[in-house]
Chain A
Amino acid sequence: MQQWNGYRPGTGYYDELVDGSGTPRPGCQHLLEYLKSLSVQELADRHQAADATIRAMGITFTVYSDGENIDRAWPFDFVPRIIERREWETIQAGLFQRLRALNAFIDDVYNDQRALRDGVVPESVVLKSRDFRPQCQGVSPPHGVWAHVCGTDLVRDKDGTLYVLEDNLRVPSGVSYMLENRHVMKRIFPELFEHSRIMPVDAYPGQLLDTLCSLAPDVPNPEIVVLTPGIYNSAYFEHSYLAQQMGAELVEGRDLVVGEDEYVYMRTIHGLERVDVIYRRIDDDFLDPEAFRPDSTLGVPGLMRAWRKGHVAIANAPGAGVADDKVVYAHVPALIRYFLDEEPILPNVPTYQCVDPDDRAYVLDHLAELVVKPANESGGYGMLIGPAATADERSQFADLIRANPRNYIAQPTLMISTCPTLCDGELEPRHVDLRPFVLQGKSFNVTTGGLSRVALRKGSLVVNSSQGGGSKDTWVVDTAADAGPGAVDDGTVGGAD
């Protein structure tokens, strides 16, 4: 008995691979045929092989609360999430548009503050933001770009519309897992890659390197480094992975020193060597104890002086997180119109800002239907999920909102889409989101697809890996290319070899 035949998407949700009647969506037919051809035993074998591969490849992530075990195997589900290329092209254009507007905004915040004066975003919201850095005022980074790497979270609602859930502009992570998921899939299901036009993802490290090189001061062979807080950081695997893939040095703060000439150097076996571009993966607060937290031991004293002089480029630039704020998020469509004079391609989730009296009144009246989020948290902490909360929790949250309205936004509860996922030997619908990575330097790139995260617990909407979520390989499939001779979507090729 094949479990796949019993797969039905949950009612009321959009399933990424099949429609309500169980018919494959465009680009998904071949995968579904293939999965159907596998027996329960074969599914289990592949599942086991995937786990063994991940362990052997040492693909790990760190959970802070996990004591000695600083590297857990990366949780991976082998049923991929599929997006058609035509849809992807729209998404890609929308992401680029968004990042251009965000970068124009950040540059404006630290220089002319035109958008603030014109009231596009309330001045108080920006200047009082936790991530606004007065230390960055008056700086003009190369190409006017501050956020060079952006991880934008997308979710699909029940009618199939993709919404932008949030932009991560500080130190977004996950891209290495996107790349590794593909490696694992190729090892476990080589057959699948013969027949489908799955667009490759491997270009990313090269594009990242190009982006970073384009920021370097005018030197022939710029020295690029990745700055990590060290092996106990939850994303250390990614830091070292990216450094390796780019052929860049992976450095810690203690490896760097700012000279009397205000250039940055690293300590090597040859002595001191100059550093031109730093891809930093540590928070602003810890970058430079002279400029930010004096107790930071992770950073480099004097780094901000070197950066302000243009002696070293930092990606993402210090201060870029000012646009990470969820209140700024609510204004991104307005920023796109203001800075680019274009209509937004990708919609925001409708967002109520508790700082606004009318919105606040609405939110307080409708807490049972809304998700309330603090403006500056990540990792899914400090949220209220209205429909799942008790009356007591809602009233506590109402007090929090009244006490500090600036710190909260609210959004309708989305019916986030699902994807078939192997759970206890059977395929069941589980909720997924998607984080593509967008690069902007001299030029612009978007990953082909992104990191799909999946909530492994039944009914759960929380996809963060630190809270028990898993991940999937994400395929952008070119169905137009499949329409030619030897097409596979006509059902003639399905099945195992």
Chain B
Amino acid sequence: MLSRLAENIYWLARYLERTEDTARLLLASAQIQMDLPSGMPMSWHSLLEILGASEPYRARHGSENERAVMRFLISDPAYSGSIAASVRSARENARVTRDQLPREAWEAINGLHYLLQEQAPNAIASRWRRNDLLAAIAAQCQRIQGVLHGSVSRGPRYQFIALGRYLERADMTTRILDVRYASLFPMDGDGNDSYYSSVCWISVLRSLSAYEMYRQDLHGLVRGRDVVHYLLQGERSPRAVGFALARIRQCLEGLPNHQQPAARLEALQAVLATASLVDLSPDAMHEFIDGLQQGFAALHGDVVQTYFRFTP
């Protein structure tokens, strides 16, 4: 497989995952917004923080209001992290690799592009239209993932898709936990706040479409410390970091010359498995997650060096 194509496919998968994750996050946040008394820490601002968009947003807009934030995160073509920009990048990467992909995959990606083009302009201002659009985007992403899962032959092509998907997913899950933990953990006791705290942690699970499965796996009041363990060290939820790293390991084992990235991954897995995460202070949690994210970035760098940018 050509290095250039491997790189394109890897990025295609990352952009698709980013699109879906962002849509889910915005959708779950809109839901919880309706349940919470005003002043609770699930504000529009925290969305910008999770998505690393606070700086670019402030550079272009003044105050944070729902409509402006949503427009920025969903349809602003000039902001490279918006859903529209991710879809455009995904489609560009699909276009140059379409000879490598099942035709159905290209058609589905194209469908996502048209969905956004046609509906985004009118959907931002109205909450119900916007929620419909976000749900449709997530569903279309699932369809694309389904086609890729169901029809791409298992070989390097598939490994690079999965590699991109799970690296992006691990990154997104840690970003959400980082921001939510900082604001919710202080309320995670047994006082009056704990009811709302629980509702908020449910929303965190929902934004990772992990709530129902969490309920199946664990019982009782949804508490931060359990959710953190479930989503970081757990290997059952497909959105959990532990699960993603295990999948990345399988991908690397299916690729040639994987010594360097595989060694990096093993070290990361060891750190995660042995970490004691019970009742960490928000600062300590932030530090731990920061370390994980640096590990993901280094792993990405190893993949780039090994497969995409080698010099003969």
Contacts and interface: CB of A to CB of B under 8 A. Distances in A.
Interface stretch (A74-82, A243-251, A378-386): A243-251
Interface stretch (A153-161, A268-276, A345-353): A268-276
A270 B107 contact: no
B311 to A, nearest CB: 9
Nearest to A252: B4
A51 to B, nearest CB: 13
Interface in A246-304: 249-252, 254-255, 257, 265-272
Contacts of A58: 98, 106-107, 110
A269 B111 contact: no
A269 B312 contact: no
Contacts of A255: 2-4
A57 B107 CA distance: 6
B1 A268 contact: yes
Interface string A228-254: 001100000000110110000111101
A120 to B, nearest CB: 42
A56 B99 contact: no
A269 B95 contact: no
A298 B234 CA distance: 48
B251 to A, nearest CB: 12
Given A268-B2, A269-B1, A269-B6, A257 B98 contact: no
Q: Majority SS of interface residues in chain A? A: mixed
A58 B97 CA distance: 13
Interface residues of A, number: 26
Interface in B292-312: 307, 310, 312
Contact of B96 (A231, A254, A269): A231
Interface in A133-169: none
Nearest to A257: B312
Interface string B68-97: 000000000000000000000000100110
B256 interface: yes
Contacts of B111: 56
A55 B257 CA distance: 41
Contact of A272 (B98, B114, B312): B312
Contacts of B307: 269
A252 B96 CA distance: 11
B98 A244 contact: yes
B40 interface: no
Interface in B1-35: 1-6
B41 interface: no
Interface of B: 1-6, 92, 95-96, 98-100, 103, 106-107, 110-111, 114, 156, 255-257, 307, 310, 312
